[in-house]
């Protein structure tokens, strides 16, 4: 299998809802390693958008969120704290 165009590229996603996550989905499809950063207790707002299995809202089962974030790694960081910001900078 040939190597993908963006193999070896690391992308840090600090985005919310649809546009940013969709762009990084395209990058991950091309082989980039995408790390999605979410805010604690809030997460990505697309987690609240359906469709949901059995029409029962669940932030872990949002069809939109799962579609946009397939093939990505994820981490929750509070970048408003010294420790969270330091960890974010390490990822960059």
From residue 32, give the alpha-carbon distance in Å to each of 23, 26, 47, 60, 70: 12, 9, 23, 24, 12
Task: Identify whether 73 is part of a domain.
Answer: yes
Task: Identify whether 3 is part of a domain.
Answer: no
Confidence category of residue 80, pLDDT binned at 50, 70, 90: very high
**What gap in Å lies between CA 16 and CA 3, rounded to an integer?**
29
Task: Identify whether 50 is part of a domain.
Answer: yes
Task: Identify whether 57 is part of a domain.
Answer: yes
**pLDDT value at residue 37:** 98
**pLDDT value at residue 2:** 81
**What gap in Å lies between CA 15 and CA 58, rounded to an integer?**
20
**What gap in Å lies between CA 56 and CA 45, rounded to an integer?**
16
Task: Identify whether 5 is part of a domain.
Answer: no
**What gap in Å lies between CA 32 and CA 25, rounded to an integer?**
9
Give 58-75 pLDDT, tens digit per residue: 999 999 999 999 999 999
Give the range of the structural domain holding residue 84, as residue numbers without chain letter.
10-91
**pLDDT value at residue 1:** 72
pTM: 0.91
> Domain count of the chain?
1
CATH number, domain of 67, equals: 3.40.50.10540
**pLDDT value at residue 76:** 97
């Amino acid at each position: 299998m040939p190597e993908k165009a963006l193999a070896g590229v690391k992308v840090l996603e600090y985005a919310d809802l649809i546009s940013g996550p969709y762009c990084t989905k395209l990058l991950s499809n091309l082989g980039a390693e995408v790390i999605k950063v979410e805010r604690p207790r809030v997460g990505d707002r697309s987690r609240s958008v359906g469709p949901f299995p059995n029409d029962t809202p669940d932030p872990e089962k949002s069809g939109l969120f799962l579609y946009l974030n397939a093939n990505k790694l994820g981490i929750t960081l509070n970048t408003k704290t010294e420790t969270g910001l330091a960890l974010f900078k390490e990822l960059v």
